[in-house]
Amino acid sequence: MADGHRPPTVQGREFFTAITVADALAGFEPARRTPIESVAVPDARGRVPAAPVHSPAALPGFARSTVDGYAVRATDTFGASESLPGYLEVVGAVRMGAAPTVAVTTGGAVTMPTGGALPEGADAVMMVEHTQATMPGTIEVTRPVAAGENIVRADEDIAVDAVLVPAGRPLRPQDLGVLAAAGVTEVAVHIRPRVAVLSTGDEVVPPSTPHLEPGKVRDATASALAGLIDEAGGDADLRGIVPDDAGALDAALRSALADADVVVVSAGSSVGARDETAGVVAGLEPPGIFCHGLAVKPGKPTLLAECDGVPIIGLPGNPLSALVVFRLVGLPLVRRVGGWTVTPVEPTSSATLTRPVASAAGRRDVVQVRLGDDGTADPLTGASALLSLLTQADGYLVVPEAATGIDAGATVEVTHYQ
């Protein structure tokens, strides 16, 4: 935890006070970053460089023609026009992919392919379209070229030591291309954060349970979290279901803290189970609860803590709430631990709200919506926060803290699920 952001202890009054999402994102800043590993460039999409990568070489590395034509000395073409063409002697040809074997001297020209290396003595390339073959071995040029025209300089694409890719931004396909072009075949990136997921709750049974006894519920949250963790560039470590028992939870938590870069506790939905999670986290040494309660709906009973440098997120027991809040605060946290210093741009679109949505001032509301073909966004609300709302949704809209709701007919910005 950065200095100046000491978490309030369990004794602090903040412990029971919901803080805003913005305050949580700004204030909960664990310093942990995963170590570095070396990855082959073609496999490195989405991986996060730990330091800027500098180019070991200039690119293209030699002056190169950008057209098919003739390498010339520009001064030899000055004054050439349709009415008063100049004449140059073709003294040789550059072959694609080969070093030039001939130089250009005054009055001479060398045949060039696009991409070919400029021969010594030449300082421009005349496009073939602006020449005519008159006699064998001679071309007529009908306009002048300036020095440097139709040429890429030896370091015009990349200079030696230029930054090929910055630190902290996941590598994009074209970044892999420029690394390869510069002769970089391996790149030092942050290891994917290992995110341990503990499920708690006496009512929770494994997804493989074929038949549910009344009162039981299969663990939906852990599998969905695995997907969200993957989306954030982490590796999920689903550690199974821990009984609602302080001793068992404490042991499971300590074991997870020893192995993981981030620990997520998917809390039982009963008040007792939730309090137990908070109690066990509060009992860890050193104590490091940052907040217990976020001003967000759904997702209020969220706990953020840090123990020995490992961030801990305690999620609400309701799967819908857990997934909404993990998207809000868990994705940025996992990315940060994995070395991201940028925020990804989410796909969004504008839509017209079909029905009003209510909110409360001071609270951020995340509302699932279904998008219509007619540019509408239909809020999926219901008394019961069921997981199927989230699978029916095409995306979500956010009612900010300052608003108390959004009217039907308003234009809203919907973030799309992918």
Using CB under 8 A as the binding rule, whether residue 411 contacts a copy of itself is answered as: no
Using CB under 8 A as the binding rule, whether residue 84 contacts a copy of itself is answered as: no
Report the C-alpha gap between 21 and 43 in whole angstroms.
35
Using CB under 8 A as the binding rule, whether residue 38 contacts a copy of itself is answered as: no
Q: Which amino acid is at 53?
A: V
Task: Say if residues 236 and 193 touch (Cβ distance below 8 Å).
Answer: no
Using CB under 8 A as the binding rule, whether residue 46 contacts a copy of itself is answered as: yes
Q: Which two tokens stand for residue 147?
A: 């020095």
User: Using the rule CB under 8 A, which residue among 8, 61, 121, 400 binds a copy of itself?
Assistant: 61
- When the beta carbons of 6 and 172 are compared against a copy of itself, the nearer one is 172
Using CB under 8 A as the binding rule, whether residue 184 contacts a copy of itself is answered as: yes
Q: Minimum distance between the CB of residue 351 and a copy of itself, rounded to whole angstroms? A: 12
The residues in 324-363 that bind a copy of itself, with binding defined as CB under 8 A, are 344-349
Using CB under 8 A as the binding rule, whether residue 254 contacts a copy of itself is answered as: no
User: Hey, is 281 helix, strand or coil?
Assistant: helix
Helix (H) or strand (E) holding 353: strand 348-353
The residues in 283-312 that bind a copy of itself, with binding defined as CB under 8 A, are none
Q: Minimum distance between the CB of residue 39 and a copy of itself, rounded to whole angstroms? A: 12
Name the one range near a copy of itself by CB under 8 A: 176-184, 281-289, 299-307, 400-408.
176-184
303 Cβ neighbours under 8 A, 6+ residues apart: 265, 277, 278, 281, 289, 291, 292, 293, 312, 313, 314
Using CB under 8 A as the binding rule, whether residue 218 contacts a copy of itself is answered as: yes
Q: Minimum distance between the CB of residue 400 and a copy of itself, rounded to whole angstroms? A: 19
Question: Looking at the chain, how many residues does it have?
Answer: 418
Q: Which two tokens stand for residue 261?
A: 């870069």
Q: Minimum distance between the CB of residue 7 and a copy of itself, rounded to whole angstroms? A: 28
Helix (H) or strand (E) holding 27: helix 21-27
User: Using the rule CB under 8 A, which residue among 228, 260, 328, 397 binds a copy of itself?
Assistant: 228
Using CB under 8 A as the binding rule, whether residue 41 contacts a copy of itself is answered as: yes
Q: Minimum distance between the CB of residue 374 and a copy of itself, rounded to whole angstroms? A: 17
Q: How many residues bind a copy of itself (CB under 8 A)?
A: 104
Name the one range near a copy of itself by CB under 8 A: 2-10, 139-147, 180-188, 289-297.
180-188
Report the C-alpha gap between 76 and 86 in whole angstroms.
8
The residues in 144-173 that bind a copy of itself, with binding defined as CB under 8 A, are 150, 152, 156-158, 164-165, 170-173
104-142 burial, b for 16+ CB within 10 Å, e for fewer?
A: beeebbbbbbeebbbbebbbbbbbeebbeeeeeeebbbb
Report the C-alpha gap between 319 and 76 in whole angstroms.
77
User: Using the rule CB under 8 A, which residue among 19, 220, 367, 399 binds a copy of itself?
Assistant: 220
Using CB under 8 A as the binding rule, whether residue 387 contacts a copy of itself is answered as: yes
Tell me whether the omega of the peptide bond preceding residue 206 falls within 30 degrees of 0, making it cis.
Answer: no
